[in-house]
Structure 1
Amino acid sequence: MSHEGQRGRKPRIALAIGDPAGIGPELAARMAADPAVNAAVSLIVVGDRRVLERGAGEAGVALEDLGHLDFRDLRNLDPGTIRLGIAAAAGGGSAMANFRTCLEMAQAGEADAVCFTPFNKAAMKLADASFDDEISFALRVLGRPGPASEFNVLDGLWNARVTSHVPLSKVASLITEGSVLRGLRLTDASMRAAGFDAPRIAVAALNPHAGDGGNFGHEDDEVIRPAVEAVQREGIRADGPFPSDTVFLRATKGAFDAVLTMYHDQGQIAMKLLGFERGVTLLGGFPFPICTPAHGSAYDIAGQGVAHPGATRNAILLAGRIAASRLEGAAAPEPSLAL
């Protein structure tokens, strides 16, 4: 189908059922029945039908009433073999198989975007220890070299990061002018693809008080600042480095559209405090949107039917807006992720 011929249709979102020992099946069932989701996108749920049926029972969703449901049944896991709240290789393997199928569907043009309900990294590692996280897995499946990165999105504010799933003891050695440049360029490109015209990016410092003129470290002045100045010359609206204990306060008041942090928890703590049940994780650097709720698999409430659907709904709606923009060949409006 030509790009012109696809205009006007709802974007197709392939949704992978995540870790079966957590809240992923329940959330997938809730999304299949969600009026806002079904009004905005054409959802294709991917996984084992038996797992979805168990999740539907937990959520109080009657699958037989969902005549519209498009389901890709992989028959790859008997839910009776899974203990709720326990990480297991079988569960991690099924979640990754579901994700792989969704990625391959999007790569083949059968879907316009990919979403997944939460994975559990311990279960993923038990199934396959050769990759670090969902990003490295997606790069391998799609045969892409990168760069790619996670972005957290909440109420229009984005959080990007230079390093992600690495030990804190290794962070400083990974903060180089090149890695900061890559982070800034990828953030700018990903946000433009999501509808921002010229996103304003604040860069968080690595050290307390942005190094305090060298008293608390030299990385901010000697590594991070030169990278910021370099992308400014390229036309990217970046500024900093700013002390990380105040930069999110400025961003939430409207001074910036995004904050580029140096390591995982530097931004994750702030974003989850701002809206744990609304936040979305977007994997940037791929040819199509890949989104998931920013929270985890919530083993502590698995099977209880109390999982909050807000972040998963927002993930699908954000993926749908970006995909719709690409189908229309025009920039999408700035994301708004209100519940």
Structure 2
Amino acid sequence: MTSRPRIAMVLGDPAGIGPELIACLLADPATSEQADILLIADRDEWRRGMQVAGVELALAETDTLAFAPGAPRLYHWELDGKPAYPRGASSAEGGRYSLGTLSLALGLAQSGQADSILFGPLNKSSLHAAGMDHSDELHWFAEQLGYHGNFCEFNVLDGLWTSRVTSHVALKDVPAMITPERVGAAIDLIDQALRRAGMASPRIAVCGLNPHNGDNGAFGREEIDVIAPAVAAARGRGVNAEGPFPADTIFLKVQGGPSQRQFDAIVTMYHDQGQIGIKLMGFSRGVTVQGGLPVPITTPAHGTAFDIAQQGRADPGATQQAFQIACRMGAQRRAAANA
């Protein structure tokens, strides 16, 4: 039995840079050497993506949602009525196309045919216009997969992973959501994800919530009463976690390559606490991993970039990194299923 992971791919929102990024990825001969790939896409959008990217790749089409070894294959799927998608703008049509192709990819993962999923950037306004009533695609993925456990969005840059205890919520709501249970769950999730990505004993740093870690309780006790006990409990479970650390200095401890870093991952308390740091370190290379779900799902972290769509200027670096992570995590998932 082949050990190559099977990856289901979709273009993302057709109005953005996803089609050209996937075209660049698949046009690289090294891509097909690492995985068996099924691209689920409207063939016209796929061709448009190649045209914008300035590449040419003849994909064999298949009438069935099935993988085959060798070169990537294309399963043609289009919206009823084949609408004209607005370019460089959000739309309900773009959202419906995104959700439709992703639904097929999720079905392959649920049936065990796909080991992981890679998708081009999505636009939340388009998804909501198309009827998605969740705050983000991660919660929609969980519903589609029937998953009710803990999950969290991870961001990855050159081997450095970050996660967060709270995500797409107003800052005024964050303090009440910082509980020992939630902090502990966030630590465990990223530890498990890194192990599934091939790291034997991940080193995890945990941020505080308040400026300067609350300065020994002078302006906030979350570090003392909540976060430090959660870190200690995680260590008691065998997780290599430390903290809490002040959020304004923790990223200084993870500069340089993997051998130079003090930690492999950082758990932050809220969205911008980690996103600002990791995006400043390398915006064009960042990857989002939909963590905790039963199937690995990855995407570039930079979004649809409507302002440069259809111009051939998109940098495929993050998409290439997302593919590498999808390969590693997909191979681990397949090995576990075959054990």
- TM-score normalised by length of structure 2: 0.91
Query: Which range moves more in the overlay, 169-178 or 295-304?
Result: 169-178
Q: SS of 2:13's equivalent?
A: coil
Q: Of 87, 110, 116, which aligns to 2:113?
A: 110
Q: SS of 1:214's equivalent?
A: coil
Q: SS of 1:61's equivalent?
A: coil
Query: Which range moves more in the overlay, 169-178 or 294-303?
Result: 169-178
The CA deviation string for residues 81-115 of structure 1, in whole angstroms up to 9 with x for no partner, is 22212111110111111111111111112211101
Aligned twin of 2:64: none
Q: Of 218, 228, 240, which aligns to 1:237?
A: 240
| Structure 2 residues not aligned, in runs of 5+ | 62-70
Q: Write the distance in 1 (CA, Å) between the matches of 2:268 and 2:307.
A: 29
Q: Of 151, 160, 163, which aligns to 1:160?
A: 163
Query: Which range moves more in the overlay, 122-131 or 60-69?
Result: 60-69
**Structure 1 residue 313 corresponds to structure 2 residue 307:** no
Indicate conservation of the 8 Å contact 1:50/1:78, yes or no.
no
The CA deviation string for residues 48-70 of structure 1, in whole angstroms up to 9 with x for no partner, is 11111111111112243779341
**Structure 1 residue 136 corresponds to structure 2 residue 139:** yes
Indicate conservation of the 8 Å contact 2:60/2:74, yes or no.
no
Aligned twin of 2:296: 289
Q: Write the distance in 1 (CA, Å) between the matches of 2:170 and 2:132.
A: 17
Shift of 1:175: 0.8
Indicate conservation of the 8 Å contact 1:203/1:242, yes or no.
yes
Aligned twin of 1:201: 204
**Structure 1 residue 49 corresponds to structure 2 residue 56:** no
Aligned twin of 2:32: 38
Shift of 1:30: 1.7
Indicate conservation of the 8 Å contact 1:48/1:77, yes or no.
no
Q: Of 11, 22, 25, which aligns to 2:5?
A: 11
Q: Write the distance in 1 (CA, Å) between the matches of 2:109 and 2:252.
A: 37
> Partner letter of residue 334 of structure 2?
L
Q: Write the distance in 2 (CA, Å) between the matches of 1:194 and 1:65.
A: 29
Q: Write the distance in 1 (CA, Å) between the matches of 2:3 and 2:26.
A: 19
> Partner letter of residue 318 of structure 2?
A
User: How many pairs were matched up?
Assistant: 324
Aligned twin of 1:275: 282
Shift of 1:80: 6.2
Q: SS of 2:169's equivalent?
A: coil
Q: Write the distance in 1 (CA, Å) between the matches of 2:135 and 2:248.
A: 28
Indicate conservation of the 8 Å contact 2:59/2:73, yes or no.
no
Percent identical residues: 46
Q: Write the distance in 2 (CA, Å) between the matches of 1:161 and 1:79.
A: 39
The CA deviation string for residues 132-183 of structure 1, in whole angstroms up to 9 with x for no partner, is 1121111111111021111111111110111111112211111111110110
| Structure 1 residues not aligned, in runs of 5+ | 331-339
Indicate conservation of the 8 Å contact 1:149/1:284, yes or no.
yes
Shift of 1:26: 1.1
Q: Of 33, 54, 59, which aligns to 1:60?
A: 54
Indicate conservation of the 8 Å contact 1:46/1:71, yes or no.
yes
The CA deviation string for residues 176-222 of structure 1, in whole angstroms up to 9 with x for no partner, is 11110110111111111111111111001110000001112111111
Q: Write the distance in 2 (CA, Å) between the matches of 1:170 and 1:290.
A: 28
Indicate conservation of the 8 Å contact 2:32/2:72, yes or no.
no
How is 1:83-94 mapped onto 2 (pairs within 5 angstroms)?
A: 83-94=86-97
Q: Of 176, 180, 183, which aligns to 1:180?
A: 183
Aligned twin of 1:334: none
> Partner letter of residue 278 of structure 1?
R
